[in-house]
Structure formats: C-alpha cells, structure tokens
Amino acid sequence: MVAFGNDKNRRKNRPRESLLRAAVRSGERRRLVRRRVLTALGVLLGVPALAIGLAWGGHQAWLGMFAENPFFEIRRIDVTTDGMLGAADIQDYARVRPGLNLFAVRPQEIRAALLTVPVIADAQVGRRLPDGLVIEVAERIAVARLGRPGAGSTLAVDATGHVLGPSSVRISLPVIQGVRDVGLRPGDVVADPMLKEALAILDVCNDEKMRAVLSVATIGVGDDERIEVGLASGERVRLSRDRVRDKLWQLREMLIEARRQGLALATYDMTVDRNYVGRSAEAADAP
C-alpha cells in the first residue's frame, strides 16, 4: 500500500525548509559582511596608529642619538664675512651660541634670520661634526649716501639699490641727491628709476683708470632728463641720459687735456650729441 499522507506532509515541510536555508544563508552573508567591515576598520585605524607609533619612536631615537646627545653640543662657531660685521654681531643676528645642540638648531632657519639684516646680502650655514657650526656671510657694500633734505639720520645704498643703515655710511662716499622715494628705511629697495642711472655712473667712475682722473662727490637725479655730477675736484658736469658711459670716458680725456693746459674749467656740458663744451667759472656765470 502507498501512504499518500506522508507525501502530503513532505510537500508541506519543503517551503519551511527552504525558508530556514535562506535565513541561514542570509545570516552567514551578514556575518561575512560584518567581518569584512571590521577588518577594513581595523586596517584603517591600525595603519595610522602604526605610522604614529613609528614616527614617535623615530623621534625619540633622534632625540636620544642626536638632538639631546651632549656629544653634539656646539663648542665652536666659525664665522667669516667679507665686510665689517663682527663675529659676535653675526652670532647675535643668527641667534646661536655655544652650548646649544648642533642638531637642535636648523641651518635654514639660521640663514633666514641672517637675511633679515639689511647689510647682509647672502649667508651660508652648515654643521661641522661633531661640535662645530659654520657661518659664512656676504655683506652689502655701501657705494653712496642718500641726500634727503629734512631727513634724520643718513642712509646709504649698495650697488643694487638696497638701503643700508647709518652704520654703513662713510663720509668719503658720494652723495646721490634728488631720489623721490620717501620714508626709506634700512632693508628697503629704492624704487626711483633715476637711482639706477646714478649707480651706473658710479660703476663707470669706479674703474681704476677713471678714478685716477675724476672722483665723484655728488650726483643729482632730480631732473628726469639730465643728471648733474659734481666732482671732488670742483668741476660740475651736466649729462643727458643717453650714451652715459661713452660721455664719461670722453669727459676723462677732456679733464686730462684741460689740466695739462692749465685751464681752470668749472663746468662741462655733455647734454648734446657731440662738441662737448667746457667753460670757466666766469663764462658759466655770464648771461
């Protein structure tokens, strides 16, 4: 005999079994997703923590081996300069002293501090193991004084137009008059383009052959069209702005010839293209 009742019961149980298997599979998938999420979170949190730990450990090792090691205490600071600054002044500007740790100071920060000093054009800083610091300074050299009516202390400029303080001023320096910049302070760069013209004149006149004949005392740049040069020997020279170098060398020849002939010429007019004129004081004053 066939028991049809049992088959009927099995057919009724199949949907239940399918539902149970589906529920089991769904639970397994959720657990797998949770494990993957937790693993990813662990990696995301663990890698930065590991990096922080390594960095901290490396920093502590650096401190112990170098930055806090008394073996690297600065005992010598070798300072060289091509100018007038003293070694003690340069150390003060650099904010370094013996007793500091050689690896606790940063050469690039020392250099940056030195370059804030107006008279310093460039600086190089390096370590000399185990206990030495080396500082090399290139100073700006004053080539002229700035004549500023009504101003307080006298300022100077170097060949690039950088303003230097009163400590760089020497009475023997020529005076540049008529610069239009106001409120100049050490460390500034003169913006008046006429200053460049005056500095170009000084550059030519500082030639060894030129200095032997003419020495510049003053340069007036108040006029945009003409420059007036006063010589230490008393002559005054009017220059136009074109072909200045050629005119200055021609002026040298005129001065040599005038002095050879014993001519007392007071002014030279070199504002024309050619046929430059030298005049005596009486002729210059005549209408």
Question: Which CATH architecture fits 70-139?
Answer: Roll (3.10)
Residue 8: what pLDDT? 53
More reliable by pLDDT, 223 or 21: 223
- Distance in angstroms (rounded) separating the CA atoms of residues 146 and 173: 10
Q: Which residues pair with 31 in a beta bridge?
A: none
Q: Encoding tokens for residue 88? A: 């003690």
Task: Flag whether the pTM goes above 0.85.
Answer: no
- The reply to whether 70-139 and 142-285 are identical in fold is no
Mean pLDDT over the full length of the chain:
84
- Distance in angstroms (rounded) separating the CA atoms of residues 227 and 239: 5
Q: Please tell me the least confidently modeled range out of 1-5, 110-114, 141-145, 262-266.
A: 1-5
At 177, phi and psi to the nearest 5?
-110, 145
Establish whether the linkage from the previous residue to 149 is cis, with ω within 30° of 0. Answer: no
CB of 102 closer than 8 Å to CB of 133:
yes
Return the CATH number of the domain spanning residue range 142-285: 3.40.50.11690
* DSSP-assigned letter for residue 167: G
pLDDT, tens digit (0-9, with 9 covering 90-100), for 240-269? 999 999 999 999 999 999 999 999 899 999
3-state SS, residue 266: strand
Counting residues of the chain whose pLDDT is more than 90, the rounded percentage is 61
Average pLDDT over residues 8-30: 61
Residue 3 has pLDDT above 60, yes or no: no
Residue 61: what pLDDT? 54
Q: In the chain, what are the domain boundaries? A: 1-68, 70-139, 142-285
Cβ neighbours around 203 below 10 Å, total = 13
Integer-rounded Cα radius of gyration of the chain: 41
